[in-house]
Each structure stands twice: as structure tokens, then as C-alpha cells.
Amino acid sequence: MPDQLLIVGGGFAGFWAALAARRVAGDRATVSVVSREPILQMRPRLYEAQPETLGVDLLPLLGAAGVQFIAGDAVGLDVSASEVRLRSGKRIGFDRLVVATGSVMRRPPVPGALLAHSIDTQDEAIALDRRLAVLCEASPATATVIVVGAGFTGIELALELRDRMAALGNAALGERMKIVLVDRALVVGSELGEGPRPVIEEALVTARVELRLGANIMSFSTNAISFADGSTLTGDAIVLTTGMVAAPFAECVPGERDSLGRLKVDTTLRAPAAPKVFVTGDAATAETGGDHATLQSCQHALQLGRFAGENAARDLLGLPGLPYEQARYVTCLDLGRSGAVLTEGWDRRVLYSGDEGKALKRRINTQVIYPPTGLSAGALIAFSGTAPDDQRPPGAT
């Protein structure tokens, strides 16, 4: 019976881990992906209009690559028995395991946070779109949308909202609408550094997005936020974009974690306390070089997945692992009608903004992060190689 190489998670990291594992293992192992559904959610794009279109059916691609798909929700891991347990009670054995279970949004630990919308998953983004559609149909004199979290996703969403209302059929309401961006930090995009901040701030001013910074939220209701200073902000829709933590399954892997719940892996992405387990994507934290750790981003997940799948297969075949590397780091932030800003390096030097930046952002969002189509099975599998990022198109954040 062939060895079993199991990947838990069907996101960016899991998909590319599966293809890389198949490329290395060939017919010497069975490669399987376990996920709730065979859909790759284009999570970096869920701030955009028409979120119902932002999913990719993985079954044809996995099938072409000779990767099995197992529908199920992984909830437990027995390292000593080399088994993954599904919510259904089924147990799946493995000879090597890749944990690619991604991340989930971290809601603020305050009363009522579950009442707010989010765009963390495709279903949640569709639910927000339905709420915005109700406002468009009602066509009130004005409306207020509050975005909580002035980081990467919050900025992109706030700057896209007027055009989303137009896409839903009420451009006039979109123009009249009040958009408020709330954060406890004193600046927008605090994690993005000072480099792109002037460009971001200018775009927010141009889009008439109001800022409420240094805000300490005490509670949420369906249509209001209460702050520590006693004030209240009411809105017709409240959306959280409050950062991510590793999804719960990562807790099943023994080992040390960072503040985001990500497992600290070695240079080959192996879990040090579980030699048959490799952890990747948003579930792992690894060094990228220069004392910088990986981010919970599509850009890093694509490369982390390739390395984890390759190294799990190499380990299974008795071959030495390859040290993970991420040769290039870029950030490309959509700024709505103001274009986009693209930076390079960890100091985030601005390379492009405005229309030039927008063209690159569109290419990233519609091409670079998508699995390739129209390739033969061999070419598809070959595309999972772990070449340095500077030999590929710019990655997405």
C-alpha cells in the first residue's frame, strides 16, 4: 500500500502543498486534501463587489494532478497514532501530514462583537453584500457604514464601498453615504509602516472616509458601537476587519506558538515536537530572512505551501528537506478610486502608486494568486516548484 501524505486545509497553502507533494512523490505516495469543501476562496479579494464569484472549484485541478479530495472538517489530531479525526468521527491515517488550516478573523473580546458583519469568508462577504443591497433598495436619504479595523483589509474595504453600492444599483446612495473607519491605533495602517501612509491618508481624504482613531470600543449592538469615552456611533452596517489568528486546528499540533496562535516551525516547516507533521500558511510562523517572520498573507502562503508539500514528500522518501525561503517581499494595497500603492521590502519603499499601482494590483488579484488554468497535468504539477519569488510575478499580500 502506498504511503499516505495528507494535507489538512484547501486554501492557498494547502492547494500548493498538495501539488508540490504530488510532484515530488510521484506514484510512491497517495496525496490527499481534507477540507470542508473543494473551493479555494479568493480571500484577498473579498472586499470587492460580487463576492459570490470569488471562489475557485479545486476538484478539476486536484483531479488532474492526481490528488484525492476528502470532504470533512478536521477537528482532532493524534500524533502518536498518526491519525486526523474529522467532526463526523472518521479517522484518517497518514505517514506525513501537512497542516494548512489557515487563519480566522479575531473578533474583539467585547460584548456584541458577533453581531457585526465581516468579510473573512466568502459566505460572510456575501452576507455583507446582501445587507448593502437592502440599503440600496431602500434608498434612504443617507446611510452610514462603519468599518472597524484600519489595517490592510479595512482600508481596502472602506475605499471600495462607494463603488460597491454602485455595483448594487444605487450609485447615488454610495456617493451620499457616510463611511467611518475606526481603530484603536493612532494612525491608519499602523502595521504597514510610514512608507505608504501618506498615499493611504490622501486616498482616504479623497474618498471622504472619516477616521475615528485611538478608539477604545466597549460594546456592539446591531446598529451601534459604544466607546470607553461614553460616546456612541450608529451605523446601518458595521463591519469588522480586526486581524487574524491561526484557525483552531493548529492548536492540535504540539509545540510552541506565537501571539497569533501560529506554530513555530523549523527551516523545513516541520513541527519540532511532531516529526511527521509539517505546518504551513497562516498556521505557521517561519523566518523569511533578516529576522523577519512570515505574515498571514496570500503572498507568504503560496510559497509556504509549496515548501511544506515538497518537504513532507521529500521526508517521506528519505530525502533531505529544503530550507524555506521567501526571496522577495512586496505589498500592494488597493486604494479604490485613488488606484493602489505597491511597496517593496520590509521597510515598504513605495515603488508605484495611482494608476500604475492599480494595474499591478488588478494583475495580482485576477491572475497571480489564482491557480493556473489550461495547463496539462504535468505542467500544472511542475508549476508547484519552490523557485525563489524573484523568478515569479510579484506576489499578493
Considering the domain boundaries, does residue 180 fall inside one? yes
Same domain, 234 and 249: no
* Domain termination residue (choose one: 213, 240, 267): 240
Reduce the DSSP state of residue 379 to 3 states and report it. Answer: helix
pTM greater than the 0.85 cutoff: yes
Report the b/e string of 64-101 with b at 16+ CB within 10 A.
Answer: bbbbebbebebeebebeebbbbbeeeeebebbbbbbbb
Considering the domain boundaries, does residue 333 fall inside one? no
How many domains are there within the chain? Answer: 2
Considering the domain boundaries, does residue 346 fall inside one? no
Q: Give the least confident one: 13-22, 221-230, 382-391.
A: 382-391
> Other C-beta atoms within 10 Å of 144: how many?
18
Which pLDDT value is given to residue 387? 63
Same domain, 159 and 264: no
What would the pLDDT profile of 196-255 be if each residue is shown by its tens digit? 999 999 999 999 999 999 999 999 999 999 999 999 999 999 999 999 999 999 999 999
Considering the domain boundaries, does residue 130 fall inside one? yes
Boundaries of domain holding 249: 3-105+244-328+375-386
Considering the domain boundaries, does residue 171 fall inside one? yes
Which pLDDT value is given to residue 375? 85
Helix (H) or strand (E) holding 91: strand 91-93
Same domain, 224 and 300: no
* Domain termination residue (choose one: 190, 221, 240): 240
* Domain termination residue (choose one: 240, 260, 292): 240
Helices (H), 90-121: none
**For the chain, percent of residues with pLDDT exceeding 90:** 91
- DSSP-derived letter for residue 367 is I
Same domain, 122 and 181: yes
For residue 311, what is the domain's CATH number?
3.50.50.60
Considering the domain boundaries, does residue 184 fall inside one? yes
Same domain, 251 and 216: no
- Residue 185: what are its φ and ψ, rounded to 5°? -70, 165
What would the pLDDT profile of 33-66 be if each residue is shown by its tens digit? 999 999 999 999 999 999 999 999 999 999 999 9
Considering the domain boundaries, does residue 265 fall inside one? yes
* Mean pLDDT for the chain overall: 95
Same domain, 191 and 256: no
Query: Is it the case that residue 391 has pLDDT exceeding 90?
Result: no
